[in-house]
Amino acid sequence: LDISRFSAEELVEMIGSQDISCEDYIVSIFESIAKHDRNTHAYLALKEDQALEQARTIDKKARSKEKLGKLAGLGIAIKDNICTKGLATTCASKMLKDFIAPYDATIIERIKAEDAIILGKTNMDEFAMGNTTASSFFGPTFNPWMEGYSPGGSSGGSAVAVSAGMATLALGEDTGGSIRCPASFCSIVGLKPTYGLVSRYGLIAYGNSLEQIGPMTKRVSDCALLLGVIAGRDSKDSTSVDRERTNYEKNLNKDTRGLKVGVPKEFLEEGTSEDVRRTFWRAMEKFEEFGVRWEEITMPSLRYALATYYIIAMAEASSNLARYDGVRYGLSSGRIELDWNEAYSRVRSEGFGSEVKRRIMLGTFVLSAGYFEAYYLKAQRVRALLRRDFEHTLKSFDLIAGPTMPILPPKLGVKLTPLQEYRIDINTVPANLTGLPAISIPCGFVNGLPIGLQLMSSYFGEELLLRVANSYESATDHHRLSFSLR
């Protein structure tokens, strides 16, 4: 059974009517995992036995015509910073390598209630800080499209699981691009929802004011299906917004004619590779075929987005990660005779990798007396400016587009300076700073390496984003191609 031939909706239907058994479908996923996970290292933990048992239960229910959930039987991979009861939730860090989550994140409860089958936990950059998966304590994930290349990060494992047929659906988290970057580099769909649309309860925090959990899927319709399940107010997350539930699939095929897209020239400035630029413009031409017009615009405040993001993200990280003290959570020094300061710094020196430490130090610096005004406060002001700029632009345009990533997937193992690495987040961080929704969709390949296109829209404009993404997908073949690794 080649699961990638079917949409999630088709699979749910086929399982419900028992045209295929859920057990066969799950078995075939684990066959793909046995074949490809060795070369890609997408998963950190698998739960095959439970998944099979659950599949048999679903088959039984389907046969006796019991009502099944919206995700009935679908195999889903979960990024390892989302708490899943009874399973290790490590954030790909030595600090949490033995941490078993004692409860389910709200979104895990929601997907379970709709009968999804959790396959396992996926690899990521340590504490979601990075865009390659190279900082994972457990070693990197590899891109299934080309040997030796990064799948992007930080939700690299989730992207690869979907891309290589090792899961039908996946969940990632996006603080500054961690869903969209790997989606782009692995030729799948990845959506960062509007801030507040999806509950963060049970997500291990990195940058609270920036991050959202979101779907990563092969097709736009799968993304719509999963978003509909995870979205919605949660009393356990005070930042989640109370809105009427939307059926994102209902209007996917609605007309897109007459819509207007703005393409800020700042999204394609120096640092953007010629290959990416060419592929992006070719994709934009395609938009005209389904009646979407576009125009080049300028949004000067975008030039400050990257610096603003890294100041705020590091400040929040330094405060969030203070809780790993070796007593309440995580690694323990096991030496009760040490005094507090010594025990605290010892456990943190040992438990955190170098990128995490760099960010804690820089974050502490920008928050410290004397520097707070110069860095953190100024960054918050620029953030407000950026938000205003986007709100203004979105009055004249329905959508804003650009390449998701300015470069092709990078080779793993090539040493970059931190600044070089941060720079490739240039087009993804504005959505996090403003809280706006953004989606990355496959838009082509150069030399066998995938390229993604990013669309942004107004607050809670997910329906529109998905509709336009779906029109583009229907007009192209990128989602039908298969990866090349053997």
Interface region with ligand GLN, contact rule CB under 6 A, candidates 127-135, 217-225, 270-278, 319-327? 127-135
* Interactions with ligand GLN, residue window 85-124 (CB under 6 A): none
Please tell me whether residue 80 binds ligand GLN under the rule CB under 6 A: no
Total binding residues toward ligand GLN, as defined by CB under 6 A: 13
Instruction: Give the residue nearest to ligand GLN (CB).
Output: 178
The encoded tokens of residue 9 equal: 């909706």
Interface region with ligand GLN, contact rule CB under 6 A, candidates 50-58, 60-68, 176-184, 336-344? 176-184
Please tell me whether residue 463 binds ligand GLN under the rule CB under 6 A: no
Of 174, 266, 316, 473, the one binding ligand GLN by CB under 6 A: 174
- In the bound state with ligand GLN, the residue whose beta carbon lies nearer, of 7 and 158, is 158
- In the bound state with ligand GLN, the residue whose beta carbon lies nearer, of 129 and 299, is 129
The encoded tokens of residue 352 equal: 């955190």
Q: Which residue has the tokens 């209902």?
A: 250
Interior CA angle at 199 toward 197 and 200, to 5°?
Answer: 125
Query: By C-alpha distance, which of 76, 58, 75 is closest to 66?
Result: 58
Contact flags string 404-443 toward ligand GLN, x per CB under 6 A:
---------------------x------------------
The encoded tokens of residue 64 equal: 């006796």
Element (H, E) at 350: helix 340-351
Please tell me whether residue 131 binds ligand GLN under the rule CB under 6 A: yes
Please tell me whether residue 178 binds ligand GLN under the rule CB under 6 A: yes
Contact flags string 295-334 toward ligand GLN, x per CB under 6 A:
------------------x---------------------
Please check whether residue 273 is in contact with residue 444, taking contact to mean a CB–CB distance below 8 angstroms: no
The encoded tokens of residue 373 equal: 């005004």
Please tell me whether residue 175 binds ligand GLN under the rule CB under 6 A: yes
Backbone φ, ψ for residue 286 (5° rounding): -60, -35
Query: By C-alpha distance, which of 184, 178, 130 is closest to 403?
Result: 184
Please check whether residue 203 is in contact with residue 190, taking contact to mean a CB–CB distance below 8 angstroms: no
Report, in Å, the least distance between residue 186 CB and ligand GLN. 15
Report, in Å, the least distance between residue 203 CB and ligand GLN. 11
Please check whether residue 162 is in contact with residue 156, taking contact to mean a CB–CB distance below 8 angstroms: no
Report the amino acid identity of residue 220: V
* Interactions with ligand GLN, residue window 142-161 (CB under 6 A): 154
- In the bound state with ligand GLN, the residue whose beta carbon lies nearer, of 128 and 443, is 128
Element (H, E) at 454: strand 449-457
Report, in Å, the least distance between residue 393 CB and ligand GLN. 23
- In the bound state with ligand GLN, the residue whose beta carbon lies nearer, of 311 and 394, is 311
Interface region with ligand GLN, contact rule CB under 6 A, candidates 1-9, 172-180, 232-240, 366-374? 172-180
Of 117, 119, 128, 405, the one binding ligand GLN by CB under 6 A: 128
Of 120, 152, 177, 330, the one binding ligand GLN by CB under 6 A: 177
* DSSP β-bridge partners for residue 214: 172
**CA-CA-CA-CA torsion sign (39, 76, 100, 129):** positive
Please check whether residue 131 is in contact with residue 181, taking contact to mean a CB–CB distance below 8 angstroms: yes
Please tell me whether residue 176 binds ligand GLN under the rule CB under 6 A: yes
Query: By C-alpha distance, which of 344, 367, 340, 363 is closest to 95?
Result: 344
For residues 279 and 289, give the distance between their C-alpha atoms in angstroms, rounded to a whole number: 16
Report the amino acid identity of residue 197: L
Q: What residues act catalytically?
A: 79, 154, 178
For residues 67 and 262, give the distance between their C-alpha atoms in angstroms, rounded to a whole number: 45
Interface residue list for ligand GLN (CB under 6 A): 128-131, 154, 174-178, 206, 313, 425
